[in-house]
Amino acid sequence: MKKKIEPFEVIVSIFMILISLICIFPFIYVLAGSLNEGMDYMRGGIYFFPRKLSFDNYRMVFNDKRLLIGIKNTCLRTVIGTVTGTYFTALVAYGMSRKDLIFRKQIYWFNIFTMFFGGGMIPTYLVFSKLHLINSFLVYIIPSLYSVFNMIIFSNFYNEIPEEIHEAGAIDGASEWQIFYKLYLPSSGPVLATIALWIGVFHWNSFFDSMVYTSNSNLQTLQLFLVKLIKEASMAEGEAATKVPAQVVRTTSITTIRYAAIVINMLPVLFVFPFVQKYLSKGVIIGAVKG
Amino acid sequence: MEVRKGHRKRINYSVFIMAMLGVIFLVVFCYMPMLGIIIGFKDMDYAMNISRALGTSKFVGFQNFKAFLNDPDFKAIMTNTIGLNVLQLIISFPVPIIFALLLNELSFERLKKIVQSVTYFPYFISWVVFGGILIGLLSPEGGAVNQVLRSLHIIAEPIAFTSKPEYFWGIVIVSAIIKGLGWGAVIYIAAIAGIDPSLYDAARIDGAGRFQKTVYVTIPCITGTIVVMLLLAVSGLLSSNFDQIFVLQNPLNISKSEVLDTYIYKIGVAQRRYSFTTAVGLFKSIISLILISLGNFISNKLLGRGLY
Closest residue on chain A to B130 (Cα): A26
CA distance A26 to B134: 8
* Nearest-by-Cβ selection for A91 from B18, B106, B282: B18
Does position A211 have pLDDT exceeding 50, yes or no?
yes
Residue A22 falls inside a structural domain: no
Q: What is the pTM of this model?
A: 0.89
Whether A28 is covered by a domain: the verdict is no
A198 touching B, CB under 8 A? Answer: no
CATH of the domain at A66: 1.10.3720.10
pLDDT tens for B9-40 read: 678 888 999 999 999 999 999 999 999 999 99
CB spacing of A102 vs B16 below 8 angstroms: yes
- A280 inside domain: yes
- Spell out which residues of chain A touch residue B265, defining contact as CB-CB under 8 Å: 121, 212
Rounded to a whole number of angstroms, the distance from the CA of A154 to the nearest CA of chain B is 13
Name the β-bridge partners of B4: none
CB B14 within 8 A of CB A100: no
- From the CA of A291, how many Å to the nearest CA of chain B? 8
Output phi, psi for B199, to 5 deg.
-65, -40
Residue A61 lies inside a defined structural domain of this protein: yes
* CB–CB contact A180 B18 (8 Å): yes
- Banded model confidence at residue B2, pLDDT cuts 50, 70, 90: very low
Contacts of A262 in chain B (CB under 8 A): 129, 132-133
Total domains in chain A come to: 1
Q: What is the pLDDT of residues B137-165, one digit of tens each?
A: 998 887 889 988 988 988 888 899 999 99
Mean confidence (pLDDT) of chain B: 89
CATH of B92-184, one of 2.40.50.140, 3.40.50.2300, 1.10.3720.10, 3.40.1190.20: 1.10.3720.10
Q: What local confidence, expressed as pLDDT, does residue A3 receive?
A: 57
ipTM: 0.88
A39 confidence band (pLDDT: 50, 70, 90): confident
Which structural domain, as residue segments, surrounds residue A76?
55-288
A22-26, A34-38, B268-272, B296-300: least confident range: B296-300
Q: Which of B1, B102, B144 is nearest residue A47 as measured by Cβ atoms?
A: B144
CA distance B53 to A184: 48
Q: Which of residues 272-291 of A touch B (CB under 8 A)?
A: 273-274, 277, 280-281, 284-285, 288-289, 291
> What value does the mean pLDDT of chain A take?
86
A37 belongs to a structural domain: no
Say whether pLDDT at A237 is over 50: no
